[in-house]
Amino acid sequence: MGEWGTADFLPGWAALAWAAKGFVLGLSAVGLLFWLQRRLGWVTLEPDAAWEAPPQLRPLLRPMPMFLVVGAEEVLFRWLILGRWLLPAAGPWTAITLSSLLFGAAHVFNERPYRIRLSAVNAALIGVFLGVAYIVSGSLAHVIAWHFAWNYAQWSLLGYPLYGSTVVGRWGATVARDGIPPLASGGKSGLEGSLLATATAVALTLIYLPRML
């Protein structure tokens, strides 16, 4: 690793330990937010829901395709763009900012009609957290595991909307209650379209940030 902990593929137990930390943190974050949304009456879990994801989105609900997509995103945005291109040339803060903006911009195209939604803004903020976590940990496995757990818990387990489409997860479909503002429930964008996701991204960044200062 370089001066700023340019993350790379760590060997053996080091990679496994960081991956485990990332997975537990991502799973816990979604679990906590889901519990809070249900506690406040913003969403409901409908175990006997009769709908499911459109055919083109169903592969994303399975672990291996989802892992491959998440892995490709982290290799592109964190390992290549941030770590290999921007970090050596521009330093950590500029590198994290630019790579996160690109990460958020890529998520604008998740839903139609294409426009900047809170979900895309939150993706950029999550990109900031992942960039900081990547540099601090020195582990690509850490950010891949967090990202995978975050997505898998939302869509495959809890059935939050996937890119605007209602899906059924392992435990049913999580849908917004009538009359609840989308900023609270996430609406058709799911958890990532809520202010709770905004707060989570900021909080996680602040947890890791002191180790970069």
Question: Can you tell me the distance from the alpha carbon of 31 to that of 20, in angstroms, rounded to the nearest whole number?
Answer: 16
Q: Note the pLDDT tens digit of each residue in 63-110.
A: 999 999 999 999 999 999 999 999 999 999 999 999 999 999 999 988
pTM, entire model: 0.94
For the record, the structure tokens of 165 come out as 């489409």
User: How many alpha carbons fall within 13 Å on the CB side of residue 213?
Assistant: 6
Q: How many domains does the chain have?
A: 1
**Residue found by looking up tokens 């905004």 in the block:** 198
Close Cβ partners of 148 (under 8 Å, ≥ 6 residues apart) = 23, 26, 66, 67, 70, 71
Q: Which domain holds residue 195?
A: 52-212
Q: Note the pLDDT tens digit of each residue in 117-136.
A: 999 999 999 999 999 999 99
In a domain, 187, yes or no: yes
In a domain, 5, yes or no: no
Give yes or no for a contact between 129 and 205, defined as CB atoms under 8 angstroms apart: yes
